[in-house]
Amino acid sequence: MNRPSARAVIKEITTGFEDLDVPRSEEPNDGPIGWPGYRSARETAEERTGESESVLCGTAKIGDVEAVVIAFEFGFLGGSIGRRTGDRVEAAFARAVESRLPVVSLIATGGSRMQHGMLALSQSQRIARAAAGARSVPQISVLRDPTTGGGWATLGASADVVLAQPGAQVGFAGSRVRPAGASTEAYTAEAKLAWGQVDQIVTPAELPSTLERWLRLLTSSTTEAAEPPGALGSTDLPETGWDAVQAARSAERPRAAEYLDAYFDWREEVSGDRCGGVDSGVSCGFGWRSGRAIAYAAQCGTATLPAGFRTAARLVRLASRLGIPVLTLVDTPGAANDEAAERAGAGATIAELFEAVASAAVPITTLVIGEGGSGGALAFAAPGSTWVTPSAYFSVTSPEAAAAILKLPADEVPALADRLRLRPQDLVALGIARSVVRPADRV
């Protein structure tokens, strides 16, 4: 395979790259554990690549944003991680914290350097500690081919935003140590995207502009709350509770994607809960509006899965850490409550999102745009900072479920909707919502 060198990749996405000056730690000729032939292999790698180690670390501009860049050179002993690799990565994160610069890791590695034994494996602990100590700055990883072993299990998987190149081999196990008969498809960037472990697949041609957008978003902190979107669609308030329910369930009503497209100039999405799950009924990411970044977590009208709550909680925690306000859109008949959802931890994941919202260090703004069904909707809502559209409702549970709980006949469901006081104007009167938004309303 014809892989571009680390410097070629850096040149494609940055300007003004300057290597960090990291002192080389002393090392015996055949490495720290005296591996026969290691010196010769290392000298060959240096001659072939023109580099003195498997990773390059430095500062550069990506678009208009200065960043610390960590780039693996796969041609140098398979991009393997040894003690001097750890020296450089640790120095890169220290520089990022000192200068308050985001970190972009361009990863292409087979993992730990066998010729360094346990001293190589222990670099994963060292790199993890350095990354954890730099959580005050945004961290983005780009998974090139291959990204395996400690490179995936530290810099790759732990980043705030994980981008991957099409067809890249990604997995903790490298190709030579997988179980016999293991499917190669499970070790691809595409599989990791489907399983909620990667945010986006990005082609090499798209990478410079994608990184520029992400860095612009993640480095634009502000203390000002997001303003609620104006209402789309009908502006008529419902006369009855059942009218409100019917309006919220109408197929003609605008959905989250329409609200997000109308609200933001442009946006980038994150995907997945990092635990193996993706909920297509929850849209999360960061958007640019009127010169500033706003994070968003939006329900899209379906029953929210545990993966959706985890993804939203991940989004809120990240935005809180980086000082970026959050907009949430509520639209769900309720949390998924089937056997699969219970097995996946429905209650625990709802609790996780409640906690993320309650403990957020940034303002959260909520707009109820459709159905607000029970706790699965409430977990997305910000107390004291919730607005509602004319074609929405918010209820302790659906009228049908309330009838079942109270052992009432089905023909009493419409009247029960009135008694639940779930209309937009009822929510304002009860103090649940601050007001009903109108087109182009700004607060």
**pLDDT of the chain along its 443 residues, tens only?**
678 999 999 999 999 999 999 988 888 888 888 889 999 999 999 999 999 999 999 999 999 999 999 999 999 999 999 999 999 999 999 999 999 999 999 999 999 989 999 999 999 999 999 999 999 999 999 999 999 989 999 999 999 999 999 999 999 876 766 677 767 888 899 999 999 999 999 999 999 999 999 999 999 999 999 999 999 988 899 999 999 999 999 999 999 999 999 999 999 999 999 999 999 999 999 999 999 999 999 999 999 999 999 999 999 999 999 999 999 999 999 999 999 999 999 999 999 999 999 999 999 999 999 999 999 999 999 999 999 999 999 999 888 899 999 999 998 899 999 999 999 999 999 999 999 999 864 44
- Residue (of 42, 177, 166, 155) closest to 103 by Cα position: 155
**What pLDDT score does 442 carry?**
42
Would you state the structure tokens that stand for residue 394, as one six-digit string?
Answer: 């918010």
Beta bridge partners of 69: 58, 104
CATH number corresponding to 241-436: 3.90.226.10
Q: Beta strands 161-164 and 139-148: pairing type?
A: parallel
Token pair belonging to 421: 């006081």
Tell me the CB-side half-sphere exposure of residue 84, using CA atoms within 13 A: 22
> What is residue 178's predicted lDDT score, i.e. its pLDDT?
67
Cα gap 371→400, rounded to integer Å: 13
Q: What pLDDT is recorded for position 104?
A: 98
Residues forming CATH 3.90.226.10 domain(s) in the chain: 6-219, 241-436
As a whole number of angstroms, the distance between CA 140 and CA 333 comes to 34
14 contacts 60 by C-beta, under 8 angstroms = yes
- Burial class of residue 212, CB neighbours in 10 A (0-12, 13-18, 19+): middle
| pLDDT of the residue at 184 | 82
One CATH from 3.30.1490.20, 3.90.226.10, 3.10.100.10, 3.20.20.70 for 6-219: 3.90.226.10
In whole angstroms, what is the distance from residue 326 CA to residue 265 CA? 16
